[in-house]
Amino acid sequence: MKILAIESSCDETAVAICEQRTVLASCIASQVEEHKLYGGVVPEIASRRHVESISALTKQALEQADCTLEQIDQIAVTAYPGLIGALLVGVNFAKGLSLSTGKPLIPVHHLRSHIAANYITHPDLKPPFLCLVVSGGNTHLVEVTDYTSFHIIGRTRDDAAGECFDKTARAMGMSYPGGVHLDKIANEGNPMAYALPHPKVEGCPWDFSFSGLKTFVINTIHRCEQKGETYHVPDLAASVRYHVCEILVEKTMAAAKEFGYTTIALAGGVSANSLLRARMQQACDQAGYTLYLPQLNLCGDNAAMVGVQAYYESLSGHFADQSLNACATKNIEEG
Ligand code: KG4
């Protein structure tokens, strides 16, 4: 069964063609260079660029997979969550394709597909497992009880880990997306150079909070700038990366122990972070747990992961009709 999958939730337009867990084609048009000019994603620009790229990318994906639209069995699309204008482009395009070809339409939750990136990298991975989903807009600890069944045990109360990386990196003068640059520069710094706050979250022990840490770092930078003092960028970057990763690893390992999981996966853009991957591997090796990491080119937004998750959604009978609408927010459990 061939699925044509579309992703347009943020600043990458992507189209892929998948057959179960096999990726036959994966095409991405990144808008990063344009958003870089503004220091972050400009939603209006993102929507316009999706409109411009989506038809050509679909044609390109069909050529890459060496198949015709008639040979496609189902159409899948990221319908939620994300930037509403951006999502609408993909959803309307997918609805048009579904209507004109008569092929079934499968709406896919963006975070479910980030988790599914692991199914492409690791053919042996199957639920149940515990997944730390870390992206620009989300930080979730999720029990993946089945391919289309999820239970959130912890989430950020405020900023996502990616937001913390991006905004502190921007304050240090790095270009968008800051998390990527911060990860590189941090390799040259001392992670112990700056004592940063380790946030405490009242109530649920599996919840995260990154806004205090982010604000502390930004205030430190502004104070230095106002006083005409210098700060050491690699040391500060290394300290931020160290603290964020320690929090993520600590909570994930504690949750695995509490809920009885010995299989752990990472998902989302921040799972490309080199220290997070290394620290998580170290912690899992020590505990005797198995860790699954998505390959680096599948950590960020792409449509291949949408196509693979869509396969499981279709097996569960999760189809939509022409009344499908995009949604800026939606819980992964409901998706
Ligand atoms: O999953 P993603 O591509 O988009 C969302 O769905 O949000 O995640 C983007 C986030 C950005 O915050 C970006 O800075 C971060 O992933 N990111 C990284 C790294 N690569 C991407 N953060 C830290 N280290 C990295 N190597």
Is there a contact between 137 and 329 (Cβ–Cβ < 8 Å)? no
Q: Region 159-187: what's the mean pLDDT?
A: 97
Q: Distance of alpha carbon 153 from its chain centroid, rounded?
A: 18
Residues 186 and 65 grouped into a single domain: no
Going by the DSSP 8-state scheme, the letter that residue 28 receives in this structure is E
**Ligand 1 centre from 62 Cα, in Å?**
28
For the chain, the distance separating the N- and C-terminal CA atoms, rounded to the nearest angstrom, is 22
Is 268 near ligand 1, meaning CB less than 6 Å away?
yes
What average pLDDT does the segment 6-30 reach?
98
Judgement on whether residues 290 and 307 belong to the same structural domain of the protein: no
**323 within domain boundaries:** no
Tens digit of each residue's pLDDT (9 = 90 or more) over 222-255: 999 999 999 999 999 999 999 999 999 999 999 9
pLDDT digits (tens, 9 = 90+) for 204-214: 999 999 999 99
User: How many residues in total does the chain contain?
Assistant: 335
Q: What is the pLDDT of residue 335?
A: 85
Q: Is the CB of 164 under 6 A from ligand 1?
A: no
Split into its structural domains, the chain has a count of 2
Q: Read off the pLDDT of residues 96-123 as tens digits, 9 standing for 90 and up.
A: 999 999 999 999 999 999 999 999 999 9
Q: Is residue 222 part of a domain?
A: yes
* Phi then psi dihedrals of residue 284, to 5 deg: -70, -40
Three-state SS for 222? helix
- Residues 146, 268 within the same domain: yes
Looking at the predicted structure, is the pLDDT value of residue 198 above 90? no
How far is it, in rounded angstroms, from Cα 185 to Cα 234? 5
- Establish how many alpha carbons lie within 13 A of residue 199's alpha carbon, considering only the half-sphere containing its beta carbon: 29
Query: Residue 117: exposed, middle, or buried by beta-carbon count in 10 A (0-12, 13-18, 19+)?
Result: buried
Whole-number percent of the chain with pLDDT over 70? 100
- Cβ of residue 302 lying under 6 Å from some atom of ligand 1: no
Average pLDDT for residues 264-271, to the nearest whole number?
98
As a whole number of angstroms, the distance between CA 192 and CA 236 comes to 9
Residue nearest to atom 11 of ligand 1 (CA): 136
- Average pLDDT, whole number, for the chain? 97
| Mutation pick for ligand 1 pocket among 31, 83, 131, 135 (CB with most ligand atoms within 8 Å) | 135
pLDDT digits (tens, 9 = 90+) for 291-314: 999 999 999 999 999 999 999 999
Same domain? 36 vs 164: no
Same domain assignment for residues 290 and 206: yes
Q: Which atom of ligand 1 has the smallest separation from the CA of 137?
A: 7
Whole-number pLDDT of residue 331: 96
Do 145 and 107 belong to one domain? no
- Distance from the CA of 139 to the center of ligand 1, in angstroms? 11
Q: How big is the CA angle at 39 (ends 5 and 225), to the nearest 5 degrees?
A: 150
Sign of CA dihedral 321, 64, 21, 335: negative
Q: Is residue 261 part of a domain?
A: yes
Residue 16 lies in a domain: yes
At residue 114, the 3 state secondary structure works out as helix
Nearest CA to ligand 1 atom 14: 179
Atom number in ligand 1 closest to CA 12: 3
pLDDT at 246: 97
Same domain, 291 and 306: no
Å from CA of 248 to ligand 1 middle: 14
Does residue 45 register a pLDDT over 90?
yes
- Residue 245 C-alpha to ligand 1 middle, in angstroms? 13
| Whole-prediction pTM | 0.97
Domain that holds residue 210: 127-297
Ramachandran angles phi, psi of 229, nearest 5°: -95, 160
Residue 199 has pLDDT above 90, yes or no: no
CB of 10 within 6 A of ligand 1: the answer is yes
DSSP secondary structure string, 245-288? HHHHHHHHHHHHHHHT--EEEEESGGGG-HHHHHHHHHHHHHHT
